[in-house]
Structure 1
């Protein structure tokens, strides 16, 4: 399956900005889960070297940014999901690539270091299990910085962007609309149904969701970086994101696919799943694997 062919550059792997949603996205089937699997199948078919992913649940204080270097990470447990869905899945930390990411970040002035104690959290392993159910590829997890500066996280993505030319798949795992305080939890607590829609999503969620799609699909190159950063000034941003953590992966992605060389590579919305009434899990991809002529 080819995601899309938006420009003539054949050297760059695609980049994905996924909304991982609640932990129930690991346990329940959905349009988003189906799309994640398609992206994983395509990545394997094209022989990716590994995955480099920024999630939404791990941030470092002060000026630091951490990269996971635990050779035997455990998985943080998740609620409302049977352990059979994730407990036996073998993680595959890519320590050489982690150390390389640290070096690249340091060269660009980041206070970057490895964290050999970090255990993986559902924001990353949920997506990996869905993408690669038969085995995790070599994976590097890059953390966030807890000041949540959009330009900082754009620069992180821009710094690691050259690894796309070496066959690495870069992924941001966060949320397009993700405000746990404004979700409707009653159907989940009463019926264990995260997809129940007893009422439509509220206007603020619909408005910000549309703004995200518009900015992703109508901007490319450096304009994409500016557009995603500007969304943090959108009138409904704070309604859609009570905290900034789930939006930083979008800035990371904008950095990774927002170079002048990326002009003409527009994002596209490929799948979407609403949960808990007001949480919108939008799945965007940028660029494509272009097969060589025989």
Structure 2
């Protein structure tokens, strides 16, 4: 099997599950490619679930998880979708994280949240592949989350598709909610995005695309992504740190992978929601080798 790509997906608002978009089309395309190449399963870092305590991360191990309700989306879009937790791989992930020095714990009570199953439904509408979800750590240390990605990076060469689900620009405090609340129109742009959002969005694209190319230095993507948290517009673009940890996780996966040193990153799709939320979809690597 070729080395699977790695995805950093901006899941956006809950309405990204209910409304058609360029991002939804791209997620489906990525899912079709993954199935065509026979992936063993999916490994995800969640942006809506964090473990409390120093050095701690949890791994979802509930055999029959429920779904948290999704606001502004008709239940028919998600209630009948059967989740498929991969408990065997979950145990393996816990072991890998512990070997890397982290306080990794199996969590057999966690019910899945829309940030993960929104992506899974869009990517794999015919059925959920075996999936393992890793939590964040509640201290939101970017370097720690990059190390989490590095610790599980070898699963990529074993045939797993690794995804971080968060946001490139995701600040709920700066979003314009009126059009969605009054007209259920999450894509309305009555005014342009604020300059700070545009600036940070461009910086995210630059870091991903310029640090994923032939001859890149090992660790370049981790350095670039983690440094973005010191960007002058970071706090405008991210009112809280949770949705940026998935980008740090993905950077650790990419830099920690054996092989794929020449992988390039593409911005596969993008949608602006609620005026100031930018849902950028990045993919590092591709199923057909650059050298093929």
* TM-score interval for Structure 1 and Structure 2 normalised by the shorter chain: over 0.9
- Are 2:3 and 2:260, in contact at CA under 8 Å, matched by a contact in 1? no
Q: CA RMSD in A?
A: 1.1
Match of 1:229 among 205, 226, 229: 226
Q: Structure 1 residue 173: deviation in Å?
A: 0.3
Q: Which runs of 5+ in 2 are unaligned?
A: 213-217
Counterpart mapping for 1:1-294 below 5 A: 11-63=2-54, 64-220=56-212, 221-259=218-256, 261-290=259-288
Distance 1:267 1:202 in 2: 26
Q: Structure 1 residue 289: deviation in Å?
A: 1.4
2:215 match: none
Write the deviation string for residues 220-278 of structure 1: whole angstroms up to 9, x where unpaired: 34111100000000000000001000000000000001137443223110100000000
Q: Structure 1 residue 132: deviation in Å?
A: 0.2
How many residues in Structure 1 have an aligned counterpart in Structure 2?
282
- Are 2:14 and 2:71, in contact at CA under 8 Å, matched by a contact in 1? yes
Distance 1:214 1:160 in 2: 25
212-221 or 38-47: which moved more? 212-221
SS at match of 1:227: helix
4+ runs deviating over 3 angstroms = 259-262
Distance 1:100 1:179 in 2: 34
**TM-score, length of structure 2 as denominator length:** 0.95
Q: Structure 1 residue 12: deviation in Å?
A: 2.1
Q: Which runs of 5+ in 1 are unaligned?
A: 1-9
**TM-score, length of structure 1 as denominator length:** 0.94
Write the deviation string for residues 13-63 of structure 1: whole angstroms up to 9, x where unpaired: 110000000000000000000000000000000000000001200001112
Distance 1:237 1:90 in 2: 37
Write the deviation string for residues 140-192 of structure 1: whole angstroms up to 9, x where unpaired: 00000000001100000000000011100000000000000000111011111
